[in-house]
């Protein structure tokens, strides 16, 4: 293939960016040049800078499912973003465009469609987002994480590929070394890893704080609190709060006896790949309900437990953690179910389709 350039697009949250990295790494190994089209101020701009990729900004407007005056003003931003995308894609002249979803991806995919350049999209959640459903009409293939997701796409069923979710290769390596500073903190005790996401989870932080005395009797607790919610002074014996975990996360998950976390799609697949028994507290307020459905899917498969709303108290959380920790047969069953769930690497599936186009 003469054209070795690919445009990626997506953003708004880390979940619309991070799963693209394993795909990008595979393509770079095959000699492809990767560019990214995102927003002027979104989280994707920071992440892509860390990956040392070419980044191009466009105007964006949010795609809302409810009435808001901003729906009218954002139309003009979306139109501006479309014309900017057309100009950029003409200039870059990629072999194809790959979308990871989020409202910023729609102008880029539409521009590719208008320019008769092939495009592809991937969605990580059980219920594909609105941007993915719009892009689906214009793509060559749409990659979905779950078989259950297919029913939410109203047309072009022949374009759908069930690929799973891409996960960084480090998470598949059960021999990855943990820095000695972390090994000293673990001190040979059972490890409870608490993950609130990059921005943290206030609800989880408050619940954990009320349980700490009892939790630290049984576990070494490593708690990702989020950059904005981080409290260094909270550190105490057997309790280690951190603002964010990145490079050390795969090794910590491999070592963890239990994980307590939200139910973002990326986190759930990282738990599955590392075969880590999990307790999920899905985000319920201020979301479209995707985490609730994500959690239900993995719970039904016997891979994790859900802390239900009626049990959303310190005592309810502590009871569920201790129930899972003390039930060795349940944890072994979860490990086996995780192993059976991840039977292929999503990035291999996706790249095999992309290379057909190249």
pLDDT at site 176: 86
Residues 179-197 pLDDT 10s: 888 888 888 899 999 997 6
- Same domain flag for 177 and 308: yes
- Same domain flag for 136 and 244: no
Q: Domain range holding 105? A: 5-166
pLDDT at site 295: 95
Residues 231-290 pLDDT 10s: 766 788 999 998 888 889 999 999 999 999 999 899 999 999 999 999 999 987 756 678
Element (H, E) at 195: strand 191-195
pLDDT band at 125 (very low <50, low <70, confident <90, very high): very high
- Same domain flag for 192 and 221: yes
Contact in structure between 220 and 185 (CB atoms under 8 Å): yes
**Domain boundary at 147, 166, 185, which?**
166
- Same domain flag for 196 and 324: yes
Asked whether residue 355 is domain-assigned, the answer is no
- Same domain flag for 183 and 235: yes
Residues 300-358 pLDDT 10s: 999 999 999 899 999 999 999 999 999 999 999 999 999 999 878 999 999 999 998 76
pLDDT at site 300: 96
- The first and second tokens of residue 298, run together, are 């993995």
- Same domain flag for 15 and 156: yes
pLDDT at site 180: 85
- Same domain flag for 196 and 150: no
Is the pLDDT at 200 greater than 80? The verdict is no
Residues 46-75 pLDDT 10s: 999 999 999 999 998 766 555 555 666 678
Is the pLDDT at 1 greater than 80? The verdict is no
Contact in structure between 331 and 324 (CB atoms under 8 Å): yes
Instruction: Looking at the chain, list the stretches that DSSP marks H as alpha helix, in order from N- to C-terminal side.
Output: 20-29, 43-50, 70-92, 105-114, 130-136, 180-186, 202-218, 249-255, 265-274, 290-300, 314-326, 328-341, 346-357
DSSP symbol at 243? S
DSSP symbol at 124? -
How far lies 279's CA from each of 82, 241, 263, 320, in Å? 42, 19, 9, 8
Q: How far apart (Å, rounded) are the C-alpha atoms in residues 262 and 267?
A: 8
List, as residue ranges, the binding site for UDP-N-acetyl-alpha-D-glucosamine.
13-15, 168, 198, 291
- Same domain flag for 184 and 331: yes
- The first and second tokens of residue 261, run together, are 């976390």
- Same domain flag for 91 and 19: yes
Q: How far apart (Å, rounded) are the C-alpha atoms in residues 293 and 274?
A: 21
- What average pLDDT does the segment 123-138 reach? 94
pLDDT at site 330: 97
pLDDT at site 233: 67
Helix axis angle, 265-274 relative to 290-300, nearest 10°?
Answer: 20
Contact in structure between 335 and 329 (CB atoms under 8 Å): no
List, as residue ranges, the binding site.
13-15, 168, 198, 291
**Domain boundary at 142, 166, 190, which?**
166
How far lies 299's CA from each of 211, 218, 303, 331, 334, in Å? 24, 25, 6, 13, 10
Asked whether residue 357 is domain-assigned, the answer is no
Q: Indicate which CATH number applies to the domain containing 210.
A: 3.40.50.2000
- Same domain flag for 143 and 95: yes
Average pLDDT, the chain: 90
- Same domain flag for 156 and 233: no
Which residue's entry shows tokens 């309810």? 316
- Same domain flag for 36 and 132: yes
How many domains is the chain built from?
A: 2
């Amino acid at each position: 293939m003469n054209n070795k350039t690919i445009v990626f697009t997506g953003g708004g949250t880390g979940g619309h960016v991070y799963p693209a990295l394993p795909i990008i790494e595979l393509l770079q190994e095959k000699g492809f040049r990767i560019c990214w089209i995102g927003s002027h101020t979104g989280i994707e701009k920071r992440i892509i800078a860390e990956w040392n990729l070419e980044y191009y900004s466009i105007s964006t407007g949010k795609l809302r499912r409810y009435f808001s005056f901003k729906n009218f003003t954002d139309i003009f931003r979306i139109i501006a973003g479309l014309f900017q995308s057309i100009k950029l894609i003409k200039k870059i002249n990629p072999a194809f465009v790959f979308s990871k979803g989020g409202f910023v991806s729609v102008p880029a995919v539409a521009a590719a469609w208008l320019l008769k350049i092939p495009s592809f999209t991937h969605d990580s959640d059980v219920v594909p987002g609105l941007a993915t459903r719009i892009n689906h009409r214009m793509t060559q293939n749409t990659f979905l994480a779950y078989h259950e997701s297919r029913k939410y796409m109203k047309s072009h069923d022949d374009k759908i590929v069930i690929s799973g979710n891409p996960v960084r290769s480090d998470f598949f390596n059960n021999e990855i070394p943990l820095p000695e500073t972390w090994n000293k903190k673990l001190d040979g005790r059972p490890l409870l890893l608490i993950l609130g996401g990059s921005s943290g989870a206030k609800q989880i932080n408050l619940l954990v704080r009320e349980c700490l005395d009892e939790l630290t009797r049984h576990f070494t607790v490593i708690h990702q609190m989020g950059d904005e919610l981080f409290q260094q002074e909270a550190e105490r014996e057997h309790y280690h709060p951190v603002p964010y975990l990145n490079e050390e996360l795969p090794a910590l998950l491999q070592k963890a006896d239990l994980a307590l976390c939200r139910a973002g799609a990326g986190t759930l697949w990282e738990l599955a790949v590392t075969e880590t028994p999990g307790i999920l507290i899905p985000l319920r307020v201020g979301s479209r309900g995707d985490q609730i459905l994500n959690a239900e899917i993995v719970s039904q498969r016997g891979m994790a437990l859900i802390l239900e709303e009626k049990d959303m108290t310190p005592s309810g959380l502590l009871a569920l953690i201790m129930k899972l920790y003390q039930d060795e047969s349940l944890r072994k069953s979860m490990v086996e179910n995780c192993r059976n769930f991840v039977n292929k690497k999503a990035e291999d599936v996706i790249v095999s389709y992309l290379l057909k186009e190249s």
